[in-house]
Structures are given as C-alpha cells and as structure tokens.
Amino acid sequence: MALETLQDIENCMNSGWTDGLPVIPPYGSVVNEMLDATGWRADDVIGEFPEHNVIVRAEQAAATAVMAGCAMEYGSLLRSLTEALLDPKLNICGVEVTTGGASLMVVVSGPVVSQLGFEHGENALGANCRANATVGRFAQMMRLFCGRAGGVLQPHGTIGHPGRISFCVAEHPETEWGAYHTQMGIPEGASAVSVMSTEGPNSCNNHYGDTAAQILDTIGDCMCHYGQTAWYYRSGGFVVVIAPDHMALVSKEFSRDEARAYIYEHARRQTDDLERMGRIAQEPIAFAEVEPGAMRSPLRSADQLTFIECGAAGGRFSAVIPRWVGSTHIMTRQINEKASPSSREAAEGNSK
C-alpha cells in the first residue's frame, strides 16, 4: 500500500469519517464503481430526515459502503439494505440516541448467503468473514453518519453493546422451518435482507435435555429474566437463534408456528413479582397493559417472536436476542439479482 493511502486513512480518521476503526478512503473513482454496483446515480435522494433538515444522497451511502470495506458484488444487497435502513419505520435516529443498548442487526437469508460467501455456521453471530463483517459495519456506519456524525443528534447509550461496530447474521441457506424472510411474507426461494434494532445476544445453553419442550422452555426462561427490557413496554419482541443441535430436537416435534405459540404461552412471569422487583412502573401507562396478578409474557403478541436458523453443529446452544423496545418494525427487503428502481417497491408493508 502506498504511503499516500495510509495518509488518506489518517485524514479520514482525523476528520470524523470513521466508526473508530480505519476505513478504506472513499476515492471518487471507487465510489463511482460502487454506485454502478448498486444501480444508483450519485445525486439520487435515497432518504430524508425532515426534522433535521438532512437529505441522504446515494453518493454518501456508496462512499460509506466503500469505507466499510464492502466488495462491489454486494451492490444489490447493499441497495436493498439501505432502503430498509432509511425507511422511517425503522427509526434509525432512535437507535442512535437511545439510552438502551441498541444496535442495528442485519439478517441475510436465502441463496445470497452462499453466493456472496457469508458465514452462517461457526460463530455465526460474530463471524470473522468479510461479507458478515463489512455489511454489518456498513449498517452501523450509516446509523452513525446519519446521526451523530452530521452534528444533529447526540448519542446517550448507557452501556451500548459490541454490535454497534458490526452485527450481521447470515442464515443457513437450507433451513428446517423455511427461510427467515418467509416470516415477513417473502417467498422461500428469494434472497432477502432484514434489519432491526436489537440488544446483544444472550447465549442459551442446554446440553442435557432430550426433548423439544426442554429446549423451548430453556429459551423461554432466557427471555424471562428480571433484567429483560421488554417487561414494561413490550413493543420490541425477540429474535431466537436456533443452532443445528437444538434444531434437530425441536423440529422433530414443533413447526415454527407451534414453537412460537409454545414460547408465547409458557414463557411468563408473575406480574406482581415484576412490580415488586421494580420492573414495572408504579403507575403504569395504559399502553403497557399491566394486569395485576396475571402471568405476564415479555411479548405483547406471539408474532413479535421470529426465528433464525444458523450456527455450527457440535454444541447445544441457541441464543435469544431482545429487540429494542423503541423500534417496532423489522424491515425486510427482497434482494433483486440486478439492482434496479423496482427494488424500492419490493416487500413494501412486510414489516412485523
């Protein structure tokens, strides 16, 4: 690498064009190549934050993709992901400023996982793989650049979590229950990218249970500790990551809908205990739907629970990922083979 390039990296870092890690300098010629890969024109307006007087142009997203280290062949995926990121329903500005430890989790599902070389086996939630690392980093950099970096917003996260650097999960291309995106109404054979705001993953260990119910009860218990953010507002939901060894047990007895219903029914805590522990406000607002004496689910409804199938065989682990309570939508977009304006219309209204 030429020394000039190292100096360019330093200049980017010193100018605030960074997420804290070194970036690929967004040279105009390279950004143009990324624009071609996404099918955007440089001046296309791809997002807007009217209250902040901020307009997001395609050139800025393409520059961010280059800086994050994304390969050009990710272009179609990045375009769909950007559309999801900048959809007002995702509330990306809320993720930037909340005291809660929220980051943007990206889920990639369908044939694109193999086509672009995403890691979906070993260490699937923190894969040392270019596709996972850079696509996840791109999403976080978009949050940062549209938020604090432009000078309008200030972050207030109390402790945050490591996913604010990069958090991208790829699902197995072949699944027991169907691709992740089928839960949002996108066809099984399609490729898709989803984004949502979440807390960090909780590892869920059960090595000695030998029934599906034991595994689901363990997962449900993990959702029900006192410290879960969900207890009061219940407006986020959870993502459950099931790895192959647990899936082999669960899928013998449960379909995805049955597992969802089982956890919703069984994973509960006594409301009065939650109140005693200070997990419910003394004078709850109506939205919280607090019923004294009732067994309370951390889910407002069963459809707030979605499942991802990934991870390696050879260990009986799953994971529970609480979604941030301030973002009620999972934004999913189908990935078109060739980026085109039509991808903007894809999957409109498929949020959950």
Partner 1 sequence: MSELPKIKAEEGAVSVPAQQITSCDDVSCELLVDPIPRPTPEPLEVILKPTERRVRFVDHSKPNSIKILRMSQQILRDRGIEVEEEILNKGDASQRMPGELLGLLSREKGLVLCGVSD
Does 292 interact with partner 1 (rule: CB under 8 A)? no
Is residue 43 near partner 1 by the rule CB under 8 A? no
The answer to whether residue 232 forms part of the interface with partner 1 (CB under 8 A) is yes
List the one residue out of 120, 116, 76, 110 whose CA is nearest residue 190.
110
Site membership for partner 1, residue 93 (CB under 8 A): yes
Nearer to partner 1, 49 or 167 (CB): 49
| Site track for partner 1 across 97-136, x = CB under 8 A | -xxx------------------------------------
Q: How far apart are CA 240 and CA 322, in angstroms?
A: 9
Return the number of the residue (8 or 176) whose C-beta is nearest partner 1. 8
DSSP letter string, 187-256 = -TTS-EEEEEEE-PPEEEE-SS--SHHHHHHHHHHHTTSTT-GGGTT--S-EEEEE-HHHHHHHHHH--H
Task: Report the residue from 21, 41, 73, 151 that binds partner 1 according to the rule CB under 8 A.
Answer: 151
Gap between the Cα atoms of 213 and 84, Å rounded: 35
Q: Is 186 helix (H, G, I), strand (E, B) or coil?
A: coil
**How many angstroms separate the CA atoms of 132 and 224, rounded?**
29
Task: Quote the crossing angle between the two packed helices 75-85 and 28-38, to the nearest 10°.
Answer: 80
Of 42-50, 159-167, 168-176, 209-217, the window that binds partner 1 (rule: CB under 8 A) is 42-50
Q: Does residue 277 bind partner 1 (CB under 8 A)?
A: no
Q: Is 226 a binder of partner 1 (CB under 8 A)?
A: no
CA 197 to the chain's CA centroid: 6
Interface pick for partner 1 out of 39, 40, 59, 103 (rule CB under 8 A) = 59
**Nearest to partner 1 of 6, 294 (CB atom):** 6
Nearest by Cα to 223 from 234, 212, 209, 213: 234
| Residues engaged in binding partner 1 (CB under 8 A) | 2, 4-5, 7-8, 11-12, 14-17, 25-29, 31, 47, 49-57, 59-64, 67, 91, 93-94, 98-100, 141, 145-146, 148-152, 156, 158, 232, 280-285, 287, 324-327
